[in-house]
A and B are shown apart, each in its own frame.
Chain A
Amino acid sequence: MSSVTSWLRQLFERILIRVWAWLQKTPVAPGGPRDSRQPTDNVMRTMNLVMPLKDKTAIGRAQAALVIGSSLDEIYSGLDNVGTVHMARFTIVDNNLLMFSFYDGDFHAYIRDFIMTLGNAFDGVVGLIEDPPPLPCWQHVDAFIEWVHQRDAFQLPDDPGTMIDVVAPNLDNLEDLSRYLVLQLDKNRNVQLGAYRAYPGYSVAQVRQRLGVGW
């Protein structure tokens, strides 16, 4: 397919999606893990925080690298003190600063503990991001939690049954599933498609205790 044909096709698809978005209203799906009362759903939960950089040049990326790099002690110490984080990493992808993590327990408690223990370092980080939350973050905890929640990527369920429940609860024709999915991903551009766990169902505390490395 030539580049012109490809461009025309994508233009047509964009128009078609806008028409369907008007015909079939689809709400923005909340980011982060879905509510669950199941015990093992509440450990090793995932956060995929997507933060668009204000400055989309290499200067902006370098600023982010410097801020994160100069705060690593503070970040690592803070995450240690939060105590429920299995893994967290900062990455820049296409001018978005990403913070991906696996954590245990309630999202609000995680973010609250997180910002109370490393709020100073995070103030420097969010200062480089579009539409930052009120600063200092640790003095505006509820606003910060909501800010993170809005930027935490939607999580597509791993299995088809739950995926239909979440994306297409009113589906009555399986052929239309692809349209429901397209319209949901039109509303939620950032999406987690799967998250592998080597030891599902165990908290940080259990893992550290069983490894004998102290808790």
Chain B
Amino acid sequence: MKEAVLKYDGSFKGFLTCIFDAYDQKLKIVEIVPAGEDQVKLFSETHEIISDELKALRVLKGLKAKISSNGMTRIKWAFLSESLGIEMKLYQMIQYIFSNKKKVDTDYSHPAVLYITNIAKQVGREKHRMEAFVRFRLTKDDIYFAIIEPDFNVLPIIIKHFKSRYADQKWLIYDIKRRIGAYYDLTKTEYVSMELPEDLGISGGNLEYFDPGEIYFQKLWKEYFDSTNIKSRVNMRLHVQHVPKRYWKYLSEKSPFA
């Protein structure tokens, strides 16, 4: 049998379609790559996979019957890591799941299961960090606006949190790395894509865009942050462990502005 490389559109639906086709056509898969990443192996045949809702749903249904809901979440979250080669690791785990009669998604002694569990944990951590470190700024047109640049594609899984929390204010969280945002207009959230002006900044309150009071609240927050520190107990190692430096840019209390 010839070795197959599957190319898909990068969506979870597309990935599940790959799984469906792999079983349906009894392919011997050596690689699954999202479009845009060319790593075609020699002596293999490339299949372009077109996302198919029905196929994806059938795989999802099959999986749900064989694993716990936690296991399902882990698979989804690991997929959002976008890390190189995650598709094959997921495929290996899914093969292991389908080849067993028992539920095996908690078999941490299986290498793929453990790998996926650990990646999902990292994604979970990033999700939690975004829920913590997102800082809204009030714009002139009354929208609470925040910019993020997460390591993993966590925007789809943080929306629920912000929706239940900020039900009575309009907000927009924009992922500048992936150029997509989530906008809540008091009734529903939808994905938006837009060009952001360069002088918007991650913190600060440029009066051209933001409410005049905005900058004062950032200053008050910084004042609070400084006052609540106990100098005789300073422990910078622990501090950086909790707030890794790559997140400081979001935090107005850590990145001084004019």
Q: Are the chains A and B members of one assembly? A: no
